[in-house]
Structure 1
Amino acid sequence: MQKNTIRTLLINAHRDQYIEMARLLGDVTASDYEMTWCADYQYALEAMLAPIHDIILLDYEHAPETCEELLRAASTHGCSTPIVCLTAKDNPELDQAAIRGGAADYLVKDQLNTAQIERTIRYAIDRKSAESELARLAHYDALTGIPNRLLFNDRLDRVLQRADRGDSPFALLYVDLDGFKAVNDMHGHDVGDKLVQGIAERLSQCIRRTDSVARIGGDEFTVLLEKINSTNDTVMIAQKIIDVITEPFNINGQQLCVGSSIGIAVYPEAGTDAKTLLKNADMAMYEAKAMQGSTYRFFTDQMNNEALDQGRLELELRAAIHNDEFAMYFQPRISLQTGKIIGAESLLRWHHPERGLLLPDEFILPAKQLGLLSPMGYWAMNRLCQDINAMDQLNLAPLRISLNVAHEQFVAPNFVTKIESILATNKVSGSRFEFELAETDVIESLSVIATDMQQLEQRGIRFSLDDFGTGFSSLPQLQRLPITTLKLDKSHVQKVVNDQDSANMVRAMIHLAHALTLKVVAEGVETERQKDFLKENNCDQMQGFIYSEPLSFDDFTKLLRQQGATSRPSYLSIVDK
């Protein structure tokens, strides 16, 4: 059988060490190694960025500061080749610095042998390949193949940077489909998916080469129009989008029609940052939706003034904290191996005095904009401690409860101290909690939160990475955090049966997580086929409507008591871990 050839770049200033490395790699029997030697660090970056190598061996021994700069520069320039660092002796600080800089692994030179270096290189290449595939799947919508929200946000940031440098203005179009829910309800989700695919294809065809389209929700799209010279340029494209969406779609022999409402935010009049532009485009879209038929609306000063209503919402949110209008609901987490309840995720609800029970989607974003996530988070932690004590009084199994912790709260001063105080005041052990952190937040603030995570882990608190697969994590970095669980986002889980890309992505994430000795929890499981897929692919746990919707405290404790009855179904029971 023909051996594969691994093209290796060695960056090292000493010929004798190059010869020794060539000898070690020459002894590998599984593969052939084609060695390129760069002896001058001045030309190392150019060699690293050349797309002709499978692995890079970077020697830190004689120029550690230069090598750190090379790692940072390679990362900045998007180097796609895995890098393994070589050191003279075991140095934990150097190890951490190399991994933070983007290295896949590091080796101690005087401990090298053929088997070790072959295994390290193979693992680094395989891991990089898997991460690259995850990155591709994470940046493109699995159903339509067009960019998703993550890639759209990146492109919007880049457009803003160019605009700030003096390039011509651009427009952000927020496109929402009218009548899509009726199609789904009447014809089913399969037909709805084909309709979305058709709309994505038409949108991609009707925009200019300099523009970009993305799918950011079930029936929501965004379009970035660059280099617009006048309002008329934007109007013409907006009307073209309305026309191509309004044209009937022939799906399974049926003529289906939907409309569209488009909100338009133009830089810089409607905002000079991504958050403001998105908010204003969304507001304009809702004004368009309030009008009859498919149409578009620009963001206006009048609409901007209406945003001042947030002042009233701020007062209501602060009153809700003070008046105990919030409540914690619980969604059971189930073992896929045993069918047993092994924990629960806590979810915040608001009993609004006028509007009734509100879900987080209706108040979390305004709370974030108003800087109220931290006080709400501490309220939730305190209430959960009270709920845990109440469950213990009922002699229920001591389940571990997970709590979503906002990034703003975690990085705020004295977070650890405040959590310890709440636990001590309520006499609750930290081992009863798991803190869920969003993947994108962890990536952005790795060095800031690592110490706090380790301190809380010593108190018994576990950590899980929430919405895994919506961002792009560097798995070697995650290994250095006390994370025990990855939670697969429902946007992938709910498509595993009908979409091959989503199925492949979920399989890959489960495999990678288990390779790092992490548990995997699938969120949003709704059907038996989704459950069977997850079980066949060795997913550890699940939660979702297939088992239970989020329950109030009383209903949740009632469920737990029922599980303890002899009449319970044989596949349901409570465990205390």
Structure 2
Amino acid sequence: MRDASVRILLAGGTQSQYQLLIEQLQHIKRQPYLLVWSEDHDRAERELAAESYDLVLIDCQADPERALYLLSYIQQGAALPCITLFEHSDSELSVLAHDLGAVDCLTTDNLHVAILERSFRYALDRSVVDQKLSQSHLYDPLTGIPNRQMFRQTLDAAIVSAKAQHAKLGLLLINLDGFKRINQAYSMDTADEMVRTMARRLARCVRKSDRLARMGGDEFALILDDCRSAEDVALVSQKVIDVLSAPYMIEGAPVIISCSIGVAMYPESGETVDGLLKRANMAMMEAKSERGSQYHFYSEETQIGALQRVNLEKDLRLALRANQFEMYYQPRVDLRSGETVGMEGLIRWHHPKRGLVSPAEFIPLAEECGLIIPIGYWVIQQACKDMKYFDDCGNHDLHVAINLSFKQLQDNMFVETAARIIKDSRVDAHRLEFELTETAIMSNFQQTYEGMMALSQLGITFSLDDFGTGFSSFAHIQRLPISALKIDRSFVSNVTEDFGDAEIVKAMINLAHSLKIKVIAEGAETLEQIQFLWEHNCEQVQGYYFSPAVSVQDFTAIIDQRVTVTA
């Protein structure tokens, strides 16, 4: 039962008919009704555009043709429930009215209170059911915004309109980076609430004329009508990035959600729904490959890049069998003694045609296509072999750190396989360190915890990599066998120039020491940065100031000759 009055518009009819309906509606006690009268159908059309109504009663007696046109107009637009009034119930026009969408047809000789109440209640209840059915088919139940099916219809209509007006159209595909990890790390309800929040943020930052939809999972789409230039679309894209990247609280801790946006323009990028969506998706993948919140416009180069990624994946599958990988090592230096005490192992790919391929290019691809797990096992095995090589060269105390992907930790055979590789290599597991990022740890905390505890029993140590860029909880971290915290290079690079970064680095060092773990700073390139880190009790540093990552043989030469390789 509704508390507010039901607003009904009487379109057409006479003054006496209006007065009769007013009197009869006053006798309905269950629900208050407010009846407004428009003398002709043209005025009724304008009234519907200006005011909000729940139900329309259309008199079809004086001008049936105009009345049925109004009925058709309403069903194509606002789709309000409509009841028609005829002189006789068996009129051919009443059959036509049903076909045009009227939910009921009444006759003027039978307008009793009970019949009016029954007809009105049926029309209103039917409207609620129809709206819910329509919403279930065309709207996303989680966010309440249009779904993929409705979006395709909307985009098709927008293309037709843009073509007729010789206008440009912008399509944005928006993908939330790292959402899958959040979905795995927290409850489904938490992930759902995050998606709802992102949808609300997007809805608030776009114009009313722009059309927003959820394409599924962590992906949204946005149609920008009547775009004057690519610069206008770029401004909107940056605005979306800024709005979505505002801190979001999960379990009392702020989380930064980055996003990747692919942009396709009509008519330059395509003239069909499928063409625009395909090219926007290509552009989105290009933006995602650049890491961090980025937007990318589709171009011919984008399509070339997509083909290159397909070919690169094909080559990557052959690389392991063809022995094209090699481990490089970057020294870690103890700031108190000045001695090299360890190293970080970094994989390199010697492509037969492209030369040295950056890990930043092929590691994300390996994670996407599932190759990161066998590549990860190769890294562990090769690092163990290289540890034996360093030992044979007389460098027995060096510690070796290697990176683990979150997907490796999700492999049920990881602990068993890693333990077997280490045992077969006969290296001192106490000198082997696994580096994990905050997001990797939180992707499946319980499984990560159990795996780390099992591996720590072998003597393996762990460090928390890229600290400050993820969303870990210290309540969780304190439970883990972590012996070192690595400060990300993004903070270290500006530590002598940016007061904010300097304060953050000092706070990180103090925080780590309060947890009784050492600190390793990445990306140190200047003497001033080294001096700052030394003054604030950072234990170890790695970076170009001492040496880039080099081959096993060059690393041995650095240790033996005590020389410093410059970038």
- 1:238 equivalent in structure 2: 233
Distance 1:490 1:524 in 2: 5
- 2:394 equivalent in structure 1: 395
**Post-superposition shift, 1:434?**
0.3
**Post-superposition shift, 1:211?**
5.4
Q: Percent identity?
A: 37
**Post-superposition shift, 1:344?**
0.4
Distance 1:165 1:233 in 2: 27
Contact 1:497 1:529 in 2 (8 A): yes
User: Structure 1: which 5+ residue stretches go unaligned?
Assistant: 1-157, 175-206, 213-223, 243-261, 290-295, 573-577
Distance 1:427 1:523 in 2: 30
- 2:333 equivalent in structure 1: 334
Distance 2:510 2:423 in 1: 39
Contact 2:262 2:283 in 1 (8 A): no
Contact 1:400 1:434 in 2 (8 A): yes
Distance 1:495 1:354, change over 3 A: same
Distance 1:330 1:268 in 2: 46
**Post-superposition shift, 1:313?**
2.1
**Post-superposition shift, 1:379?**
0.8
Distance 1:239 1:502, change over 3 A: closer
Distance 1:270 1:161 in 2: 24
Contact 1:283 1:303 in 2 (8 A): no
Residue pairs, 1:170-185, within 5 angstroms: 171=172
The answer to whether the aligner puts 1:279 opposite 2:285 as a matched pair is: yes
Distance 1:165 1:209, change over 3 A: closer
* Higher relative contact order (CA closer than 8 Å, sequence separation 6+): 1
- 1:355 equivalent in structure 2: 354
Distance 1:228 1:346, change over 3 A: same
Alignment deviations for residues 117-175 of structure 1 (CA, whole Å, 9 cap, x no partner): xxxxxxxxxxxxxxxxxxxxxxxxxxxxxxxxxxxxxxxxx9x967566897872589x
**Post-superposition shift, 1:443?**
2.2
Secondary structure in 2 matching 1:471: coil
Secondary structure in 1 matching 2:320: helix
Distance 2:460 2:518 in 1: 15
**Post-superposition shift, 1:327?**
0.5
Residue pairs, 1:142-157, within 5 angstroms: none
- 1:480 equivalent in structure 2: 479
- 1:76 equivalent in structure 2: none
Equivalent residue letter for 1:313: L
Residue pairs, 1:284-295, within 5 angstroms: none
Secondary structure in 2 matching 1:484: strand
Residue pairs, 1:373-412, within 5 angstroms: 373-412=372-411
Contact 2:173 2:222 in 1 (8 A): no
**Post-superposition shift, 1:516?**
0.6
Contact 1:488 1:520 in 2 (8 A): yes
**Post-superposition shift, 1:354?**
1.2
Secondary structure in 1 matching 2:434: strand
Distance 1:499 1:475 in 2: 26
Distance 1:413 1:402 in 2: 22
The answer to whether the aligner puts 1:529 opposite 2:528 as a matched pair is: yes
Equivalent residue letter for 2:548: E
Distance 1:452 1:173, change over 3 A: closer
Distance 1:161 1:543, change over 3 A: farther
Residue pairs, 1:3-402, within 5 angstroms: 171=172, 210=205, 228-230=223-225, 232=227, 235=230, 237-238=232-233, 264=263, 278-281=284-287, 297-298=297-298, 307-402=306-401
Distance 1:236 1:208 in 2: 21
**Post-superposition shift, 1:405?**
0.8
Distance 1:496 1:334, change over 3 A: same
Secondary structure in 2 matching 1:441: helix
Contact 1:521 1:541 in 2 (8 A): yes
- 1:88 equivalent in structure 2: none
- 1:500 equivalent in structure 2: 499
- 2:443 equivalent in structure 1: 444
> Which deviates the most, 364-373 or 164-173?
164-173
Distance 1:282 1:312 in 2: 18
Contact 1:453 1:481 in 2 (8 A): yes
Count matched residues: 337
Equivalent residue letter for 2:321: H
Root mean square deviation, CA, Å: 4.1
Distance 1:363 1:236, change over 3 A: closer
Distance 1:484 1:527 in 2: 26
- 2:98 equivalent in structure 1: none
Equivalent residue letter for 2:306: A
- 2:117 equivalent in structure 1: none
Equivalent residue letter for 1:437: L
User: Structure 2: which 5+ residue stretches go unaligned?
Assistant: 1-139, 156-170, 176-201, 208-218, 238-260, 266-272
Distance 1:386 1:538, change over 3 A: same
**Post-superposition shift, 1:307?**
2.8
Equivalent residue letter for 1:448: Q
Distance 1:480 1:371, change over 3 A: same
TM-score (norm 2): 0.52
Distance 1:310 1:457, change over 3 A: same
Contact 1:265 1:281 in 2 (8 A): no
TM-score (norm 1): 0.52
Distance 1:226 1:279 in 2: 14
Distance 2:357 2:304 in 1: 25
Secondary structure in 1 matching 2:329: strand
Secondary structure in 1 matching 2:533: helix
Secondary structure in 2 matching 1:417: helix
Alignment deviations for residues 271-291 of structure 1 (CA, whole Å, 9 cap, x no partner): 79x99773155699xxxx9xx
Distance 1:282 1:477, change over 3 A: closer
Distance 1:437 1:369 in 2: 18
**Post-superposition shift, 1:230?**
2.5
Q: Larger Rg: 1 or 2?
A: 2
**Post-superposition shift, 1:359?**
2.0
**Post-superposition shift, 1:509?**
1.0
Contact 2:384 2:422 in 1 (8 A): yes
